Structure 1
């Protein structure tokens, strides 16, 4: 396996994704990602299209695509061909006589009109655009397709265009999630809604804080996380070390590096979520009373 394939495979496994899951997220065939990770470039389409697949895969895994594109061979190697079988006696005199006979017959036939082959144009390079974000109040954590961008206000480097999912999170405010059509440079401003204040008593009283009745994940190292509640995705990305993420119950959590994720359920410290470097998925229910 070449260096390019090693980097792609390590990044995918760190996110806890299978080849099938990654292919479904990118709307690509599994054999395309298998060929990229195994460096079987001869199984990929023409280089311009294959490099487009490589760029999309690298961005999806949170990698800088430019160093990986530099590792892509200028011309994929062709498998070696077996030498022709050896003959017991020379055949060239018979072949020469046959070619002369065919050549004479061909010269006596009328020549057809020449056929001009038009080469196919390479696929266009995906356009890239800058995204500028502001929030009121500022300081919200911004995620694009589950990847952490930074805190608002911010301006991103040029990003590949298309439909992208933006998520904004700020303690004390409702998370905001919106699908963007990134077809040009965008400058967006959002006003976040504060969470409702808890009420004293009554059936409409607010639910207990996550530290008492919910789930808290404390990042003691780097790990990719995905948190879902039924069909709804609450979070996906790589939080900063030291961050604490709170979620209502029940939820399902998948971690790429479980040893870096300390779990607090109903205010109780349950310790690390699992072993280092071994992705795991766990479901957390509300504790019984």
Structure 2
């Protein structure tokens, strides 16, 4: 198993999910997730679509998708062709026997061939029609939410896309400090969608930025790279999302922090710099009493 598969499988098992449960939440086949975890990339769809599946799977597991996408090969390798059998000298006896049989067969055909039959040419089958495409408008309150369609980033709200392929599509909106929205659409014509985002519990707006000099009873998280974060206090969820690089998030103690990329998050506890929260790319949960 490769490093990409190991990270996916370990994160899924930490969340207590089976492949079938994860596949049901993503509206995908369990075989697709299993192929990702076992690094059988040649059994997945074309790379752009497979990378979209990988992004959605990583977000479901609380992982930062960017390091995982960097591990996905640009073009899955194919198995090498079977070696050709070594050629020996020409089997003249076999060739002469085949020529004799061909001559006898052709003579029999000339004697027994049927009368010519009129051939009726059938009209060629029409080429398959391209799928219909429709424009899509998405707005949110508050604006600025990141919009993903089947795992592909389209832009921020308010958003009006060029015509996209119709059918069953998965739409997702994300805004720091607000609950993400995920909806399966039956795109059978032009759509204009509007969403009112719900603030996370006890956090009607994203956490305020704070300086590293915060005093007693404070935890400051300095975001030095892309990382998914979730901060809870008991049963209350204070924050969940991917903050901007360079942000400093402050919380009152005690809290519990879950990071998808701990190496990109610097911890300052009651004014003391403790360094990175953990190793890069290895999801970690830490409690700060």
Q: Normalization by structure 2: what TM-score?
A: 0.51
Report matched runs for 1:246-261 at 5 Å. 252-255=258-261, 258-261=262-265
Q: Is the 8 A contact 2:143 2:158 kept in 1?
A: yes
Deviation at 1:98, TM superposition (A): 1.8
Q: Is the 8 A contact 1:142 1:169 kept in 2?
A: no
Q: Between Structure 1 and Structure 2, how many residues are aligned?
A: 232
Cα pair distance change 1:54/1:17, threshold 3 Å: same
Deviation at 1:137, TM superposition (A): 3.3
Q: Is the 8 A contact 2:223 2:248 kept in 1?
A: yes
Deviation at 1:96, TM superposition (A): 0.7
Cα pair distance change 1:241/1:252, threshold 3 Å: closer
Correspondence for 1:179 among 178, 183, 201: 183
Distance in 2 (CA, whole Å) between partners of 1:98 and 1:35 is 49
The SS at the match of 2:246 is coil
Q: What is aligned with 1:5? A: none
Give per-residue Cα distances to partners, 1:122-145, cap 9 Å, x unaligned. 987666554422223333454556
Greater mean alpha carbon deviation, residues 101-110 or residues 22-31: 22-31
Q: Normalization by structure 1: what TM-score?
A: 0.51
Query: Does residue 173 of structure 2 align to residue 167 of structure 1?
Result: yes
Deviation at 1:282, TM superposition (A): 1.2
Q: Is the 8 A contact 1:131 1:156 kept in 2?
A: yes
Query: Does residue 139 of structure 2 align to residue 139 of structure 1?
Result: no
Correspondence for 1:100 among 93, 100, 103: 103
Report matched runs for 1:266-281 at 5 Å. 270-276=274-280, 279-281=281-283
Question: RMSD of aligned C-alpha atoms?
Answer: 5.8
Deviation at 1:91, TM superposition (A): 3.2
Deviation at 1:188, TM superposition (A): 1.7
Give per-residue Cα distances to partners, 1:227-257, cap 9 Å, x unaligned. 6999x9x967x654224679996564332xx
Distance in 1 (CA, whole Å) between partners of 2:123 and 2:137 is 42
Distance in 2 (CA, whole Å) between partners of 1:226 and 1:280 is 13
Greater mean alpha carbon deviation, residues 162-171 or residues 245-254: 245-254
Q: What is aligned with 2:223? A: 219
Report matched runs for 1:20-169 at 5 Å. 27=29, 28=32, 30=35, 34-36=40-42, 53-60=46-53, 81-87=84-90, 89-105=92-108, 129-142=134-147, 149-156=154-161, 161=166, 162-169=168-175
Query: Does residue 288 of structure 2 align to residue 282 of structure 1?
Result: no
Q: What is aligned with 1:202? A: none
Correspondence for 2:193 among 165, 188, 191: 188
Distance in 2 (CA, whole Å) between partners of 1:78 and 1:197 is 60
Cα pair distance change 1:118/1:55, threshold 3 Å: farther
Deviation at 1:189, TM superposition (A): 1.7
Alignment gaps of 5+ in structure 1: 1-8, 37-43, 45-49, 64-69, 199-205
Give per-residue Cα distances to partners, 1:78-104, cap 9 Å, x unaligned. 666435432465532222112223334
Alignment gaps of 5+ in structure 2: 13-18, 56-65, 67-73, 211-215
